[in-house]
Amino acid sequence: SQQGEEDPQALSIQEGENATMNCSYKTSINNLQWYRQNSGRGLVHLILIRSNEREKHSGRLRVTLDTSKKSSSLLITASRAADTASYFCATDLKTSYDKVIFGPGTSLSVIP
Amino acid sequence: DTGVSQDPRHKITKRGQNVTFRCDPISEHNRLYWYRQTLGQGPEFLTYFQNEAQLEKSRLLSDRFSAERPKGSFSTLEIQRTEQGDSAMYLCASSPNSDTGELFFGEGSRLTVL
């Protein structure tokens, strides 16, 4: 079974609005990452947050991590049509050789 | 070297045939991962190498699947006696031997089994 679960499965917003995606996971992690995938392409790394960090920023991205709730959120501010893609959280398990497990993803559509 | 390279990008085969995919990681990266992704789903972990050593193999990988990474450089993923359920995108990723954790993905090899 997959370690992470994203919520919502699909999200549609207007350009300029903020988009928030959530990720929950089951077991202890070393770090949590977010990736983006455009249709039919490979995944691109967006941001990594370590288990001892609570919040991290990169440009228009803001990631939070709550290890007590085993959850993370990805906020994209001032969204653009080019942000339309699938977004996946991925966890690096403490128990297994840096094995990286992905969730099922959130499909984001930004309407111009 | 500009990134992770996968070949072929697309493969159409008949059920029962064998197929092999190749992945060339970023040259200084020690870790190499294979994932399988079906439409609308996240990548599913298949197997992972640290240099030439295969450290973990998913239960998703039946005995028809085998992966190698000779000399710790490129890797191959072979599927024998393909079935229609093997149709998917096969993704390769590499990572440096550090604690950054970031995976660098190739564009994937799409397999269609008729």
Q: What is the tens place of the pLDDT at every residue in A83-112?
A: 999 999 999 876 665 678 899 999 999 999
With an 8 Å Cβ cutoff, is B7 touching chain A? no
Dihedral sign for Cα atoms in the order B91, B94, B99, B100: negative
User: Do the Cβ atoms of B101 and A48 come within 8 Å?
Assistant: yes
Residues of chain B in contact with residue A88, where contact means CB-CB under 8 angstroms, are 42-43
With an 8 Å Cβ cutoff, is A105 touching chain B? yes
Average pLDDT over chain B, rounded to whole? 91
User: Do the Cβ atoms of A42 and B105 come within 8 Å?
Assistant: yes
User: Do the Cβ atoms of A97 and B55 come within 8 Å?
Assistant: yes
Cβ–Cβ under 8 Å, residues A65 and A72: yes
Minimum distance, in Å, between the CA of residue B47 and any CA atom of chain A: 9
pLDDT, mean of residues B40-46: 92
pLDDT value at residue B71: 86
Tens of pLDDT, residue by residue, chain A (112 residues): 456 778 889 999 999 999 999 999 988 888 899 999 999 889 999 999 999 999 999 999 999 999 999 999 999 999 999 999 999 999 987 666 567 889 999 999 999 9
Strand partners, A92: A31, A100
Minimum distance, in Å, between the CA of residue A101 and any CA atom of chain B: 6
pLDDT value at residue A1: 44
Token pair in block for residue A32: 């949590």
For A101, which of B4, B31, B45 is closest by C-beta distance?
A: B45
Nearest CA in chain B to A99: B48
Residues of chain A in contact with residue B95, where contact means CB-CB under 8 angstroms, are 98
